Amino acid sequence: MSLIYSLFVLIFLGAFAGPALAQSDDQTEIPLGLWETKPDRSGIVFHIRTKRCGRALCGRVERVKDRRGFDTPSNAVSSEVLLGLRPRPDGSFVGEVRGTEGQRYPEAWVTLQGNLLVVRACEAADCAKATWKRLR
């Protein structure tokens, strides 16, 4: 009798906990839009387009601009930099980030703070932080 009751409780909880967990992911605001990185050492700025990929957040390099603000040719254009970052209950996203020069950061967190997207990425003990400004 106890086993049947336990199974009933598990099934009952699963029926209500599943939709509740899914709902929390759906309610997380996906920071869609066009974002601009800060200039690198050479004055190069990247424009990253973020979009929804399933329930996750993805992003690709859309444009690369030189220090004068002109488009500049780059192999980074169309490369994916945010790869399937999953929403967390606190509103942040976690997953893999790739640098514009191909570096891979398997542990990354993205947080929306107003019109800023804060990207923190780590590879072993080496961590970096970048702040992107929303353009659109």
> CATH no. for residue 86?
2.40.128.520
Can you give the pLDDT at residue 27? 65
Is 18 inside any structural domain? Answer: no
Q: Is the torsion defined by CA of 107, 33, 77, 42 positive or negative?
A: negative
Can you give the pLDDT at residue 75? 92
Q: Is the torsion defined by CA of 57, 61, 66, 70 positive or negative?
A: negative
Q: Which residue has the higher pLDDT, 100 or 79?
A: 79
Is 44 inside any structural domain? Answer: yes
Flag the least confident range among 14-23, 30-39, 47-56, 106-115. 14-23
CA distances from 23 to 50, 56, 69, 97 (A): 22, 14, 42, 25
- Say how many domains are in the chain: 1
- Alpha-carbon span 134 to 13, nearest angstrom: 41
CA distances from 132 to 26, 33, 36, 40, 135 (A): 24, 11, 5, 12, 9
* Mean of all residue pLDDT scores within the chain: 82
**Domain membership of residue 107 as a residue range:** 29-134
Can you give the pLDDT at residue 99? 83
- Alpha-carbon span 37 to 132, nearest angstrom: 5
Is 48 inside any structural domain? Answer: yes
Is 41 inside any structural domain? Answer: yes
pLDDT at 26 over 80: no
Is 8 inside any structural domain? Answer: no
Is 11 inside any structural domain? Answer: no
Can you give the pLDDT at residue 3? 34
Nearest one of 113, 106, 60, 58 to 86, comparing CA atoms? 58
- Alpha-carbon span 75 to 73, nearest angstrom: 7
pLDDT at 34 over 60: yes
pLDDT at 45 over 60: yes
Is 5 inside any structural domain? Answer: no
Is 47 inside any structural domain? Answer: yes
